[in-house]
Amino acid sequence: MLERIQASLAGLSPAEQKVARLLLADPRSFTSLPVARLADQAEVSKPTVVRFCRSLGYAGLIDFKRALAGSVNEGVPFVHRSVDESDPPADIVVKVIDNAVSALLKYRADAAPHAFELAIEALASAGRSGRRIEFYGVGNSGIVAQDAQHKFFRLGVHAQSVSDGHIQVMSATMLQPGDCAVVISNSGRSRDLLDAADIARRKGATTILITASGSPLALTANGEQHILLAADHPEDHDRYSPMVSRLIHLVIIDILTTGVALRLPHKLRGTLREIKKNLRTKRYADA
C-alpha cells in the first residue's frame, strides 16, 4: 500500500501531497492520529485529509486507516523471486507459483473497497438499463478484455471487448451517458487506450481504469464517473512476459463480475442455469 501511495504522488494535488508525505514518513502514527492532528501536522485543512483518502479510492479516513493498519501493522509477506536463466525447472515451478500467490495476497491488502463499490454499481446500473459495457485492452491486456466479455455477456448484458486501436476509437465515440468503458492496461501508457478513454469521458460514459497507480492512464481518473482500480506489482517486464499483472487483472474482472451478478435481477440466474444446461449437450462424453 505504501508503494502505491508513493507511486500516486504525482497525480495528487499539492495539498494532498503534503498528507501523503506525512503518511510515508510515519505510517503507524498516521493510523492512530485523529483528523485534526493529521491536518495540523501536514499543514492542510481537515477536508484535504479526507480528499486525499478518496483520491486513493477509499470512502473516507476511517476506511483508509483500516486498510493502512492492515498493511503496516500486520502486513502480508511478499517476496518477488526473479526467475533466472540458470534456474532448473523445479525452481521455475516454485518461483512462478510463489510470485503469483504472494502478488495476489498483496493485492488483497491493497485493494480499495470504495473504488470497487463505485465500479460495480456503475456496471450493474448499465446492465439493468440495457446500456453498453465496453472492455478495451491491447496485447496482453486485450486477452483480459476478451475474458471480461466472456464473463459479462453470460449475465445478459450488452458487453463486448475491443483490442484494435481504430475500432476502440469508433466504439468510444458511440458511447453515451450511462454506458461504461472498462480500460485495461498494465503500463497505462498505451496511446490507443489513452485516446479511447479520453473520448469515452468526453461522451459522458463512465470509465473504469484497471492499471498501475501513477501511470498516465491512472492520472486521468477524476470524479465518481472515472474510477481507478489500481493494480500494482513489482514484476520485471524486461526479463519475461508479464504474468503476475495478468493474474491480478483477471482477479479484478472476477470481482467485478461477481459483484455485478449479485446486483442484477434474479431472473438472470435462471438464464445462467439454462446456459449451463444447454452447454451440457455440447459434451461428447459423460463425466
Supply the pLDDT for residue 284.
67
pTM of this structure: 0.71
d(CA 228, CA 252) in angstroms, rounded, equals 12
Supply the pLDDT for residue 14.
92
Q: Quick check: 176 pLDDT over 90? A: yes
- Top mean pLDDT of 54-58, 137-141, 176-180, 185-189 is at 176-180
pLDDT, average across residues 48-62 = 87
Calculate the average pLDDT of the chain. 86
64-87 pLDDT per residue, tens: 888 887 666 544 444 556 677 787
Supply the pLDDT for residue 75.
45
**Residues belonging to the chain:** 287
Q: Quick check: 58 pLDDT over 80? A: yes
Q: Which long-range contacts (CB under 8 A, 24 or more apart) does 223-228 make?
A: 224/118, 225/122, 225/201, 226/201, 227/57, 227/115, 227/118, 227/119, 227/122, 228/57, 228/115
Supply the pLDDT for residue 232.
84
190-245 pLDDT per residue, tens: 999 999 999 999 999 999 999 998 899 998 888 778 999 999 876 654 445 567 88
In the 8-state DSSP scheme, what is residue 56? T
Given a contact cutoff of 8 angstroms between Cβ atoms, the answer to whether 208 and 223 are in contact is no
245-260 pLDDT per residue, tens: 889 999 999 999 999 9
Which residue type, as a one-letter code, is found at position 81?
R
pLDDT, average across residues 93-119 = 85
Comparison of pLDDT for 210 and 12, the residue scoring more: 210
